[in-house]
Structure 1
Amino acid sequence: MTPPEPAPEAAPKPTSWARGAALRGLVALPLVAGLATAGWLVTRGEDTPAAAPPPVPVPAANAGAAASGPSVLEVSAPVKAKEPSQGGASGGRNPLQDWADKLAGPLDIPANALIGYANGELQLRSEQPSCHLSWVTLAGVGAASSNHGRTADPQHGPLGLSPAQWSKYGGGTPGIAKPVVTDPDAASVAAGRALCAGGGDLGGGNGWWKAVANFKNPGGGNDTELFRQRVLGNAQLYATLSLDPAKSGTPAVRATRFALGQLGLPYVWGGNGPEAGSAGFDCSGLTKAAYDSAGVALPRTAHTQYLATQRVPGEPTLGDLVFYGNPAVDIHHVGLYLGNGLMINAPTEGQAIQIHTYHTRGDDYAGAGRPA
């Protein structure tokens, strides 16, 4: 159960190592692949304690499906994205280049990387159509591996391919005479082949999740879990923005980007994040910091955030806050909605910030609020 949040104390001064998500060391805490029941969302019927409660035990990753209920493993793969254009030049222009040029800015992905991801999808449509690989999955891998080539090393390239993967999947691509792992086109095709290896189907949640885990590390582990959380989060964001790139500069998208940058940090009772001197965040500390980064001020606790936001009729959309509890008594938990039934969540002590299903039968979901 997620404990209610105390009033935050004055934040310590930022430390020099905590300036920006890209520079932060990630804390190795469980990112529970098979999350236990969503009981931490259920009404507790307890008073706010004066001090932080003891850590909540982390459930085993192999907990039975009947006991664990829905988790991030069971959700759909990223929603359908705007498909890349096929074909040659039209009217003197290349439709694939036009597609990439229109999306590069809104997605914050270099156009040559976008073209590579698109070529990876298009090639795998031809080679393994039953795999249903989307360019947004490759873009998620590129984001998690090297920020789309911006931090790539020459040995692994922009998609983070191991030497063994490159040796196995990097050759024989039409139109690429001399493939090299540093080339976004060749690397994307090789990564697509690795993801689709073994007849996998990335069109559904379990197949997608397994393929991304096997791509990173067939042996699994915490690093693999964090990697695929990052891939999933970024792929979902890219899919949404590809359908409506005009939203890219909105506070909702800016807040979502910030929250995605905190995946893997620990839940910390009353925590306001590394830039405020804390190792991580609690639930409302994360949502407040996310919207602070977008220029929108929110109150500090989940209950006051519920009162300060506009109610959302029906399903939430990207960047909305999703609340849990009894509005008349106490809203005790909040997450940031990512889309496709998922939220970015600082769950409870002993767990890391992660992506989780936002609403399950029997929880005490109270509705969504829109900060801006």
Structure 2
Amino acid sequence: MSAFLRVIVYGGIVVIVGAAVMLTRLTSIEAPEARIAASVAAPMAAAAPVAPNAAALVAPTDRVDPLWAAETGAATGIPARAIIAYASADLTVGAEQPGCGLGWNTIAAIGAIESVHATIDGSRLDGQGYPSPPIRGPALDGHGFAAIADTEDGVWDGDAVWDRAVGPMQFIPSTWADWAADGNGDGMTDPNQIDDAALATARYLCATGDLSSPQNWRAAVFSYNHLESYVDDVAAMANRYTTAVGSQPAAG
């Protein structure tokens, strides 16, 4: 660990990592969960541990305050439709796994690095949360990447020879098979659809344990991409988003 101090924000908790570790509640902004939902009473009341493939109870566009999404998007540069997906995933895992401690800003940071919130290479999210054109990573053929032979007959990635990362959160098809989620409650699980992909990402990260722990948080993000530099980049981006939101006036 480097000698300088790094500030990492976990869903409303600041963790300063360096020679010592200190936890302190944010005082300049509200915890994200206090503002991202127009109403959380119904989904929270129905919350219970669920299987990874269970459908969302409420559509993200109905549970996340659109004004909050627009303001947060303007402050952070994240498309509002992507913000809705990240915030809804945060709410869902917060209800399912209260001890996880995952914040929307961590999910958003991964979305930024993986696909620039589904805008990489000129792609754009439509109102239903699908990027157009679809987002596909390079063939995992062992040349500069791990060699992963096709696992799903090209159903998701269009490649029947090699696997490719798919969608806004860049799931490898074999990983998607384990963590597929229905984030928008349409009865389907699709790594191309950002609500589904964001919820799968959230559950994948929460499998590590309590993410209010710096060690667990780093381990969870490292499990997503096995590079310490990747973890550092996600931490920096998550902090950037929280700082940007904190600089905005609270909604009336």
Give the TM-score normalised by structure 1: 0.41
1:78 touches 1:235 (CA, 8 Å); kept in 2?
no
**Residue 364 of structure 1 corresponds to which residue in structure 2?**
none
1:170 touches 1:190 (CA, 8 Å); kept in 2?
yes
Residue of structure 1 aligned with 2:73, choices 81, 88, 104: 104
Residue of structure 2 aligned with 1:203, choices 212, 229, 244: 212
**Residue 234 of structure 2 corresponds to which residue in structure 1?**
231
2:184 touches 2:196 (CA, 8 Å); kept in 1?
no
Distance change in 2, residues 1:139/1:77 (3 Å):
farther
Give the drift of 1:212.
0.6
For 2:168 and 2:18, locate their aligned partners in 1 and report how far apart those are by CA, in whole Å: 30
Give the drift of 1:179.
2.2
Distance change in 2, residues 1:181/1:244 (3 Å):
same
Gaps of 5+ in 1: 1-33, 39-69, 218-223, 247-372
- Please give the residue correspondences for 1:106-185 in structure 2 after superposition, counting only pairs within 5 Å: 106-151=75-120, 152-153=135-136, 155-171=165-181, 173=183, 175-185=185-195
For 2:189 and 2:24, locate their aligned partners in 1 and report how far apart those are by CA, in whole Å: 30
Q: Secondary structure at the match of 1:129?
A: coil
1:85 touches 1:95 (CA, 8 Å); kept in 2?
yes
For 2:199 and 2:18, locate their aligned partners in 1 and report how far apart those are by CA, in whole Å: 30
Aligned length: 171
1:149 touches 1:157 (CA, 8 Å); kept in 2?
yes
2:182 touches 2:195 (CA, 8 Å); kept in 1?
no
Distance change in 2, residues 1:87/1:239 (3 Å):
same
- Please give the residue correspondences for 1:286-365 in structure 2 after superposition, counting only pairs within 5 Å: none
> Counterpart of 1:103 in structure 2: which amino acid?
T
Residue of structure 2 aligned with 1:186, choices 196, 207, 220: 196
Distance change in 2, residues 1:234/1:73 (3 Å):
farther
Which of these two proteins has the greater Rg computed from alpha carbons? Answer: 1
Report the aligned-residue RMSD. Answer: 3.0
1:77 touches 1:205 (CA, 8 Å); kept in 2?
no
For 1:77 and 1:137, locate their aligned partners in 2 and report how far apart those are by CA, in whole Å: 18
For 2:175 and 2:21, locate their aligned partners in 1 and report how far apart those are by CA, in whole Å: 27
Give the drift of 1:126.
1.8
